[in-house]
Every structure is written in C-alpha cells, then in structure tokens.
Structure 1
Amino acid sequence: MPSSTRIGNRHLAVDVSSLGAEMQALTSSDGRSWLWTGEATYWAGRSPILFPIVGKAPDDKLAIGGAVYPMAQHGFARRNEFSLAESTPTMCRHELPASAATQAVYPFDFLLAVEHAVQGRALTVTAEVNNRDARALPFGLGFHPAFAWPLPDAAGRPHMVTLDNEGEPALARLEGGLINPAPLPSPFDKGRLVLDHAMFEKDAMIFPKGAGDGLRYGAVGGPTLRFQFENLPNLALWTKPGAPFICIEPWHGTAAEAGGSSELSQRPSTTILAPGATARFAFTVEILQ
C-alpha cells in the first residue's frame, strides 16, 4: 500500500504519496485547500509526475533505437511506487530507480528523484533524472498539478492566467491525443487569459514555446498563486469542461506530433542526457493571498 508523507511549516502543509511521488494536498494554515481533491467523477489525478514521456505516443507505442515498446500516456512514473529516500519537517525526497519492469518498456538504467520542499508560503517541486546507463538517455519530463477552480473564497469571480513575460504564445491543439503542429492564434492578450470552461471543449491548450518561466493564476480581486518554472519550456492548461480544477502544466517535452515519428528521440523538446549526467526540472508555487 502507498504511504503518505506530510511536510510543512507555519504557513503550509503538503501531503505526498509514495505512489508516483504525487502531491495529494496543499493546505494553508488558515485551512484553505489549494490543490484539486482527485474526485474520480472528473479526474482521479492530483499532481502526477510525467516520465519518460509527456502526453501520448502514436498507438501507445514508443520506438527506441528501432525497437518498439508499449507506453501509456504520460509514461509510467505516476503508476510506480517510489521509495522515501530522505525526509525532514519541511522536505521529502522520493526515488524511482530503473527495474526489470521499467526496462521492459524503457530499456535504460536511470534514477528519477522527486523532491517537495516548503519555504515560507511557497512549495517547490523538483525532479532530477540521473542517467546511470552507458548510452544517452532520451526522455520527456513534465508536471501536471491541478489547482482549485474556483480558488478558495473566490466562487463567482473571473479567474485569470497572466504570463510574466506578457507574451502571446501560439496555441497548439491535440489531434487524437497527438500534437497538431499547425500553430493557432494565441488566446492570450498581452499575457492575460481569462479562463472559460468552453476553452477546454477541444481538450488541453498547449503552448509549445513562448509562455516564459513564470505566471500567476488567480481570481480577479481574490486569491492568487504565483508560479516560477525551471528548465520547463512548454506549458499546457487543461481541465474537463465544468470540472472544479485547472491544471497548470509545465513540461520539457510534449506528445508526439500527429503524422510524425514514434521514435522517442524525435518527439518535440525531448531531452537527450549524456551517460552519468543529471538533468533538473522544477516549479515553485507561492500563495500570495
């Protein structure tokens, strides 16, 4: 059975499951809950870690060096049990090493470590991938946290995503779960996007480039969350129409392109990690009010 680890300080409490090293709750000291609750009627996830792919592979099959392997959407990390490698009152680190089961579908030796750490009113989630193999390691890595929509005490207020860079990144849509590479006009206006459930009737809104490394998600005149991203150039926003959550997903890697290659190394924004090297990815979310 999965175990749960709680970390926190006088401002925040965070619960993390050993299954997928997935955050289960983000609660402020005033009792407000900021993370989606995982109600299965809509979506049972809360904050899965996506590895070794982000999104889908064509026919759920991944080609690696010419060989073909089964690979479910968003990879296998979220369905695997991690071990608790380190824990303090304000930090926990979970690890997933390669195993016979992972190597049957992803034939590499690796270590995936996920750390949750709180400081002040902010939580930082870090993923590190270490290549223990003698070959270069191709992979995608993404975060998929879901936050309350509406935010606490903000029912009835418009909610907005505001990019720090005031950009208007081109929109990409999914076609059969794969990226349609034809860019669409940006829904952002000088970095501002007022959220509407109708935006998600065609699935996720994906911004392969140009969204920058920081944004705010908040209710007009109400609570706001501030995000910073490290080594995560792709951004997606997703919910199920009518569901009370919004996923703010920073990625390094996307789904394969429709009509494109099933080869892992050819997927958009794939990382190719040298033997012995470690790659780091992180996001920080801070509660502003």
Structure 2
Amino acid sequence: MITLKNQYLTVQVNEFGAELTSVKSEDGAEYIWQADPAYWKRHAPILFPIVGRLKDNQYVYQGKDYHMTQHGFARDNQFQVTNQSQTAVTLVLTQNAQTLAKYPFNFELKVNFELKEHELAVHFTVTNPDDNELLFSLGAHPGFNVPFAGVGDFTDYFIRVAPKKVYRRIPLKPPYSDPEDPQELDFTKPLQLQHELFKDDALVLDLKDQETTVMLANSHDDHGVALSLSKAPYVGIWSPSPKQAPFICIEPWWGLADTVNATGQLADKFAVNRLTGKQRFDAGYQISFF
C-alpha cells in the first residue's frame, strides 16, 4: 500500500488496480468508501479498456471473438510503481498474457496521483506502443462515504453541478446505454440524494467535454468533495439501488457501456477512443476535499 501525505490529507493507493483506497483529513474524516462487500467491494476502481458492460460480455475484433467482463481488467491487475515521492506516485500497467487473451492490443496505462494542499489530482496516460490502431475506453469510479464523518444520513446530502444548467442525460437500460433516447436532468439547483434516484442504475450526464465540477456536500457540516473535469465527455453518478448503501460514486468516463443496439464489433463501439501508432491519450480529474 502506498501512502501520500501533506499537512491536510493522508492518501492511500493500492498497487493492485492502482486503486485509491483512502483519503483522510487532518481531523480524521474518511472520504473514500471502505469497500464493505455487503454493498460494494471496491473503493475507486479504474475502468479500462472498457467502461460498463459489453453486449453478452463479448466483442468481435478483426473477425475473432473476445470475452471481457464489466469495466475491463485494469482493476484486477498489479500495477508497477515507476516514480514516488511524499506527495505523488506514478503507477503503470502494460499488456501481459492474460490481458492479450481478452484484448489483443499492446498498451501502456499510466496513472499519476498527486497531492496539492486540499486537492488530489489524478492523471491518466494511455500510450499506443505499436503501429496498429489502439481502441479503448477509460473511466474512474471513486466512491465517497455518505456520511463522511458520521454526521447525518444519505438523504442529508446533495449533488451540485457547475455550470448550473439542464444537462442531457444518457439513460441506461441496464446494463446498456441508450444515447439515442436522451433525457434531461435539471442541475440548475442542487439534487437531494434519494436511493430511488438510482433505480435504473447511474445518472449519466453528457458533458460534451465542457469543464465541469460535481460537488457532494451536506446540510449538517462543512465536509464535502468537489470533483472537477476539464475534458471528459461523460460523468456517471451512482449508488447501488435498491440497497440502502451509505456511499455515492462520481465517475468521470471517456467511454460508455455498449449501446442497446451495439453490433458487437469493437471497431463500431459507440464513444470508443482511437490511438494511431505511437500516439498517446491524456485525461484526468481533480478532487478537492473540504
């Protein structure tokens, strides 16, 4: 387990999955969900090389069938630490025999965590080392305790999104996405949390790469988080209804689950990212803790 620390926050990151497992403030408040398997056994998995599910957990690439389960394999692989200081760490995953059986591409996925006062910056770099095209999706899935410090309950918390506006929402027909049947979600005012909000899975906002901040806060104390994205096409907001789970996930996504009318061909996958030979893809987000 890797520990990063400054005068405000203590952060832990597991080399397995490069997963953020804890963020504690100087007053002892734990912000990150602690993976109680009765609700959800993860903290903040990295989603690669797919986000969500494939149709029938499979796809076709260059005439060959491949099988891959929800959110891909990065979260279940050991990353290697390539650089570390008191306030930053870089971890890297590349292809291996197990990944190539599911995903016939060479790749380098690099994740950097850096503490800056009250903020944790997370940066992803995907590099294509080959001459052939690399196809992938990428996402983050950080879960946050609700409540943060034992004050109040789930319904005392709210989500605020900036800029304030009515967002295009991409509905999920679990477990698939339906971007051709968009809905609207009003974030001109705060959204008070209710478990029933997630009865149809995550609330997925189409951000159109606009700089966006999603804040989770409550009416009882000053604790909260604000997750900022500069160039993410989507963000998902999720809690596992109908379970009365005491956490909420705010998930930056560079990709989507297969659509309801997906062909199963990876080359046709909706919102897939493409890297030509020797190209790299950079993305990330920042979380402010207060």
TM-score, normalised with respect to structure 1: 0.93
User: 1:8 corresponds to which residue?
Assistant: 5
User: 1:160 corresponds to which residue?
Assistant: 158
User: 1:149 corresponds to which residue?
Assistant: 146
> Aligned with 1:186: secondary structure?
strand
User: 1:286 corresponds to which residue?
Assistant: 288
Deviation for aligned residue 1:256: 0.7
User: 1:62 corresponds to which residue?
Assistant: 59
Does the 8 A contact of 2:166 with 2:188 survive in 1?
yes
Distance verdict in 2 for CA 1:260–1:50, change over 3 Å: same
Instruction: Report the residue type matching 1:105 in the other structure.
Output: K
User: 1:197 corresponds to which residue?
Assistant: 195
Out of 253, 269, 276, the position equivalent to 1:274 is 276
> Structure 2: where are the runs of 5+ without partners?
none
Instruction: Report the residue type matching 1:240 in the other structure.
Output: P
Does the 8 A contact of 2:43 with 2:143 survive in 1?
yes
Distance verdict in 2 for CA 1:186–1:31, change over 3 Å: same
User: 1:232 corresponds to which residue?
Assistant: 232
Deviation for aligned residue 1:264: 2.3
Instruction: Report the residue type matching 1:273 in the other structure.
Output: L
Deviation for aligned residue 1:221: 5.2
Distance verdict in 2 for CA 1:64–1:151, change over 3 Å: same
Equivalent residues in 2 for 1:41-190, closer than 5 Å: 41-156=38-153, 158-190=156-188
Deviation for aligned residue 1:158: 2.4
Deviation per residue, 1:164-197 (Å, 9 max, x gap): 1112112233224111234353232415322211
Query: CA–CA distance in 1 between the matches of 2:143 and 2:136?
Result: 23
Query: CA–CA distance in 2 between the matches of 1:177 and 1:274?
Result: 30
Query: CA–CA distance in 2 between the matches of 1:187 and 1:158?
Result: 20
Query: CA–CA distance in 1 between the matches of 2:134 and 2:72?
Result: 15
Deviation for aligned residue 1:201: 1.7
Instruction: Report the residue type matching 1:151 in the other structure.
Output: F
User: 1:245 corresponds to which residue?
Assistant: 247
Deviation per residue, 1:76-107 (Å, 9 max, x gap): 10011111111100011111011122111111
Deviation per residue, 1:217-271 (Å, 9 max, x gap): 1113532212211331101111113100000001000001012222223223211
RMSD over aligned Cα, in angstroms?
1.7
Query: CA–CA distance in 1 between the matches of 2:257 and 2:206?
Result: 10
Instruction: Report the residue type matching 2:2 in the other structure.
Output: T
Deviation for aligned residue 1:57: 0.3
> Structure 1: where are the runs of 5+ without partners?
none
In the alignment, structure 1 residue 216 sits paired with structure 2 residue 218: no
Does the 8 A contact of 1:165 with 1:191 survive in 2?
no
Does the 8 A contact of 1:130 with 1:277 survive in 2?
yes
Instruction: Report the residue type matching 2:285 in the other structure.
Output: F
Work out the number of aligned pairs and report it. Answer: 285
* Identical pairs, percent: 28
Instruction: Report the residue type matching 1:267 in the other structure.
Output: K
